[in-house]
């Protein structure tokens, strides 16, 4: 399986073919949907000319020619007051639910239905306008970091319950904790600020009564 297949790759191999058809064409064992993705129709544009938009967390992003956008300043949350007034997104409105239904309808019983998701780390980077700010928060604002993580945990627990109820069979969690030269943080900071939320999401019991496997 592949976590994600870029449309440019599909078009280079099989011009004009859809993702769904390519899964069959390439004889993949699994089909995936991304919980962090959204449709162009749902884009909340701030400045189309500069390609600035707000993601579901309310964070400012700038689109590029690549799949991943760049988080831009200012941070959506800078202070405890910002956090107290913040309203997180509603998981019931997530675009991925509709995508999961479509994949289940076509591939259930033929391919493994997989949702690629996050837990308590990525959204905190978005809300703080980048990894550098979040890393400094580990030292300067540790309590803010814990509260940001809780927002992600609560959101993703509910979202994954809904996805499993829709027929998704595998939830695959992952994030960028390191670069080619090493981890972005010490193991101690990972264990303090990320691992508790990751474990909570991974161990929650789903509608079918089975827990996710421990990561």
Q: 69 is written with which tokens?
A: 């956008």
Q: Residue 126 CB: number of other CB atoms within 10 A?
A: 27
Contacts of 58 (CB under 8 A, 6+ apart): 76, 86, 127
Q: Please compute the mean of the pLDDT values over residues 99-116 and round it to a whole number.
A: 97
Residue ranges of domains in the chain, CATH in brackets: 7-176+186-203 (3.20.20.210)
- Both structure tokens of 163: 């996805």
Whether the per-residue pLDDT at 151 is higher than 70: the answer is: yes
Contact 97, 163 (CB under 8 A): yes
pTM: 0.91
Tens-digit pLDDT profile for residues 61-107: 999 877 789 999 999 999 999 999 999 999 999 999 999 999 999 99
Q: What is the pLDDT of residues 119-147, one digit of tens each?
A: 999 999 999 999 999 999 999 999 999 99
d(CA 153, CA 119): 6
pLDDT band at 156; cut points 50, 70, 90? very high
H or E element that contains 134: helix 131-140
């Amino acid at each position: 399986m592949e976590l994600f297949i870029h449309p440019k790759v599909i078009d280079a191999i099989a011009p004009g073919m859809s993702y769904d058809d390519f899964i069959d064409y390439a004889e993949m064992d699994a089909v995936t949907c991304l919980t962090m993705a959204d449709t162009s129709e749902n884009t909340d544009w701030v400045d189309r000319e500069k390609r600035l938009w707000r993601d579901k967390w309310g964070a400012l992003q700038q689109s590029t020619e690549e799949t991943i956008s760049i988080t831009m300043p200012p941070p959506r949350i800078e202070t405890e007051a910002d956090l107290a007034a913040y309203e997180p997104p509603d998981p019931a409105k997530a675009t991925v639910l509709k995508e999961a239904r479509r994949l289940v309808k076509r591939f259930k019983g033929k391919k493994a239905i997989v949702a690629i998701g996050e837990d308590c780390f990525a959204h905190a980077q978005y809300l703080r306008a980048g990894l550098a700010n979040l890393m400094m928060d580990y030292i300067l604002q540790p309590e803010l970091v814990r509260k940001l993580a809780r927002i992600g945990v609560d959101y993703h627990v509910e979202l994954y319950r809904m996805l499993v109820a829709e027929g998704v069979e595998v939830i695959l969690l992952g994030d960028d904790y390191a670069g080619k030269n090493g981890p972005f943080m010490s193991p101690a900071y990972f264990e303090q600020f990320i691992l508790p939320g990751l474990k909570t999401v991974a161990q929650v019991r789903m509608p079918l009564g089975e827990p996710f496997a421990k990561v």
